[in-house]
Every structure is written in C-alpha cells, then in structure tokens.
Amino acid sequence: MEPSGPPPASTIPANANIVSFPRAPTQVAFERAELMRILDVYGRMVAAGQWRDYAMDFGKEAASFAAFKRSAERPQARIEKRPALRNKQGMWALYGEAGQVLKRGHDLAGVLSVIERRLMKIVEG
C-alpha cells in the first residue's frame, strides 16, 4: 500500500513547475482610482476653506482617510474602506466628527455624495 500525501522532495524533477499562490494582503489600501476620487473631493473642500489637512491609515482590516479643519482637532470626516463588509452593508463608510456613521455603501461615489452635497451648499451660499 502506498503512503498518501505529496511525494518526497527527492522525487520531484528539477525542471518541475512549482505554482505558488498569492497570500492575502497584509494591509488594506486604496486603489489608485479610489484615492484619486477621494483627493478630488478633498481638494475642492480645501479650495472652499473647509479642510486644511488630512491623514491616511492603512491597517489589516481597514484603510481610512481623515480630513481635518485644523490638524490638532478630531477629523471632520473620515472615509473608511473595510473589505470584510463587502458582501454585507458595503465596504465604504463615511463617519462624522463625533464618530457617527453618516453613510455606508457598496460604492465610493455614493458615500462621497454626502460631502459633495455639503460642498455645493457652501459654494452656493
């Protein structure tokens, strides 16, 4: 009876193709298009005089972009990407200054629409 399992290393030919599978990412990050969309909104808010500084954080479970009126304060808005929630309530979330959830969604544009509406009110008024 033959033993089950992979063959010993000595029996694998030297010219054999070894397939390696990619590991899960060690941290969550924004894709280029996502970051460009976020920075576009940030730039318009800076031009309107609402924001002056930002910070980004990349962790194992989430990536976040925080926008500040002044750097010593809490962020006025925080955009978070949490891929683990992709199939549930959506991986994008917008948090307000007090930490309350302002909007959740499956696409970034829908979440950023809250900030864009606020920007339109500032520009008009």
User: pLDDT per residue over 84-112, tens digit each?
Assistant: 888 888 889 999 888 899 999 999 999 99
Which tens digits make up the pLDDT trace of 11-56?
A: 666 666 777 767 666 888 889 999 999 999 999 999 988 899 999 9
Q: What Å distances lie between residue 62 and 30, 84, 85, 87, CA to CA?
A: 10, 8, 10, 15
Q: Is residue 12 part of a domain?
A: no
Total count of domains within the chain? 1
95: tokens are 């948090």
Q: Is residue 73 part of a domain?
A: yes
Q: Is residue 77 part of a domain?
A: yes
pTM for the structure as a whole: 0.73
Q: In what order do the strands lie in the sheet with 92-95?
A: 53-58, 63-68, 77-81, 92-95, 101-105
Domain of residue 96 covers 32-124
Q: Is residue 66 part of a domain?
A: yes
How far apart are the C-alpha atoms of 60 and 28, rounded to whole Å? 6
Q: Is residue 92 part of a domain?
A: yes
Q: Is residue 17 part of a domain?
A: no
Q: Is residue 3 part of a domain?
A: no
Q: Is residue 27 part of a domain?
A: no
